[in-house]
């Protein structure tokens, strides 16, 4: 399926990955309906910053309302379902919210997609569903372990979406990105946490566990991975990971960012940023062979290039002022 000209819905379009995906889809000629979570300020999140805003249809609402989801999916050919509640630390405090948004919201979306005969439903997963790696690189057959309420809600939402493939032949495919980074990312994530502190003039960078490793993918590569999954022939009932097949420890990330920004920095342990002992995911490293074999796609942006572009965005005072680098953002 060529995405050009297709009627495409992106839920969570106002978020970090969603805004990059929306922008990339518009550039590819898709007819995009972008969901921004309703608020009384009529504020469309990161969609406000994309240059193609006049070329897309922005709709506001909430996936926790089944009737709204029904109307949202009307006349859509492809659904990219990204809307979710994602901060892991907040899931320790408000797990009910994660069930309502991630599990029930996914149920309402896939029900609506089924009713309207959507041709492809791309369910967004996360590498957090695996917990700490039992082997690396992690492939799609790796066991899942709910080490946080957030990851439990995503395991459940993936299962809910996939159940519609088995029970009703709804064309569901799961896209499972590993850690994505780039411009517009929330300050709750480690790379914006480091860059925003350094850009604000801090030399002691407040962080949690420095030994954990992650597989970081640049946002535009993640967006292209989503589109590759949507455009492939077949793939329904399958899961495809998006990642680089490389990992870096958080401590090494601090050193690399400090070097790229030409600033002397050192990491300082902040106890409030430490996850509960059995909840910390120690290692994530993606085996991206399944998606590459199926579509030919693999991320093209090196960590150095992606970080350089991300740093440039954060160093723009207009962008940096949107971040409160002195606070721990959960």
Shared domain check, 70 and 163: yes
- In a domain, residue 295? The reply is no
- In a domain, residue 291? The reply is no
Shared domain check, 205 and 80: no
Q: How far apart are CA 210 and CA 268, in angstroms?
A: 9
Q: How far apart are CA 172 and CA 112, in angstroms?
A: 13
- In a domain, residue 144? The reply is yes
Q: How far apart are CA 281 and CA 133, in angstroms?
A: 8
Distances (CA, A) of 47 to 3, 28, 221: 20, 17, 18
Shared domain check, 172 and 38: yes
Shared domain check, 263 and 170: no
Determine contact, residues 291/221, Cβ cutoff 8 Å: no
pLDDT in tens, the chain (330 residues): 999 999 999 999 999 999 999 999 999 999 999 999 999 999 999 999 999 999 999 999 999 999 999 999 999 999 999 999 999 999 999 999 999 999 999 999 999 999 999 999 999 999 999 999 999 999 999 999 999 999 999 999 999 999 999 999 999 999 999 999 999 998 889 999 999 999 888 888 888 888 999 999 999 999 999 999 999 999 999 999 999 999 999 999 999 999 999 999 988 877 888 888 899 999 999 999 999 999 999 999 999 999 999 999 999 999 988 887 666 666
Shared domain check, 195 and 108: no
Hey, CA dihedral for 87, 88, 89, 93, is it positive or negative? positive
CATH number at residue 117: 3.40.50.720
CATH number at residue 265: 3.90.25.10
**Range 54-59, long-range pairs (CB < 8 A, 24+ positions):** 55/26, 56/22, 56/26, 56/32, 57/31, 57/32, 57/33, 58/13, 58/34, 59/33, 59/34, 59/35
Shared domain check, 278 and 256: yes
Of the CA atoms within 13 Å of residue 89, those in its CB half-sphere come to 13
- In a domain, residue 140? The reply is yes
- In a domain, residue 153? The reply is yes
Shared domain check, 159 and 92: yes
- In a domain, residue 290? The reply is no
pLDDT of residue 325: 64
Shared domain check, 273 and 140: no
Shared domain check, 77 and 159: yes
Shared domain check, 260 and 167: no
Domain count, the chain: 2
Shared domain check, 112 and 256: no
From 280, 244, 261, 148, select the one nearest 197 (Cα to Cα): 261
- In a domain, residue 15? The reply is yes
From 168, 150, 74, select the one nearest 113 (Cα to Cα): 74
Distances (CA, A) of 328 to 190, 216, 282: 11, 21, 21
Could you list the residue range(s) of the whole structural domain that residue 27 is in?
7-178+217-242
pLDDT of residue 205: 87
């Amino acid at each position: 399926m060529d995405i050009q000209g297709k009627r495409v819905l992106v839920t969570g379009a106002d978020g970090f990955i969603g805004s990059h995906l929306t922008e990339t889809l518009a550039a590819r000629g898709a007819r995009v309906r972008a969901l921004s979570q309703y608020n009384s300020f009529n504020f469309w999140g990161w969609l406000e910053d994309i240059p193609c805003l006049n070329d897309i249809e922005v709709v506001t609402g909430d996936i926790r309302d089944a009737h709204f989801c029904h109307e949202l999916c009307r006349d859509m050919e492809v659904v990219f379902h990204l809307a979710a509640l994602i901060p892991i630390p907040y899931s320790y405090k408000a797990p009910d919210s994660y069930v309502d948004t991630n599990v029930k919201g996914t149920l309402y979306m896939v029900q609506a997609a089924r009713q309207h005969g959507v041709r492809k439903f791309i369910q967004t997963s996360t590498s957090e569903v695996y917990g700490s790696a039992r082997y690396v690189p992690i492939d799609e057959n790796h066991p899942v372990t709910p080490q946080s309420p957030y990851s439990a809600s995503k395991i459940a939402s993936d299962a809910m979406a996939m159940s519609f493939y088995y029970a009703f032949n709804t064309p569901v495919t799961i896209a499972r990105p590993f850690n994505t980074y780039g411009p517009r990312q929330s300050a709750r994530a480690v790379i914006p946490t480091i860059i925003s502190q350094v850009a604000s003039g801090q030399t002691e960078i407040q962080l949690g566990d420095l030994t954990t490793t992650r597989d970081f993918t640049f946002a535009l590569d993640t967006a292209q991975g989503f589109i590759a999954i949507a455009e492939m022939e077949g793939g329904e009932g399958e899961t495809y990971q998006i990642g680089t097949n490389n990992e870096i420890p958080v401590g090494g990330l601090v050193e690399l960012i400090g070097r790229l920004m030409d600033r002397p920095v050192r990491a300082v342990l902040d106890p409030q940023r430490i996850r509960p002992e059995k909840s910390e995911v120690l290692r994530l490293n993606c085996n991206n062979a399944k998606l590459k074999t199926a579509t030919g796609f693999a991320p093209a942006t090196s960590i150095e290039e992606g970080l350089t572009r991300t740093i440039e965005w954060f160093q723009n005072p207009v962008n940096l002022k949107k971040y409160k680098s002195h606070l721990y953002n959960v």
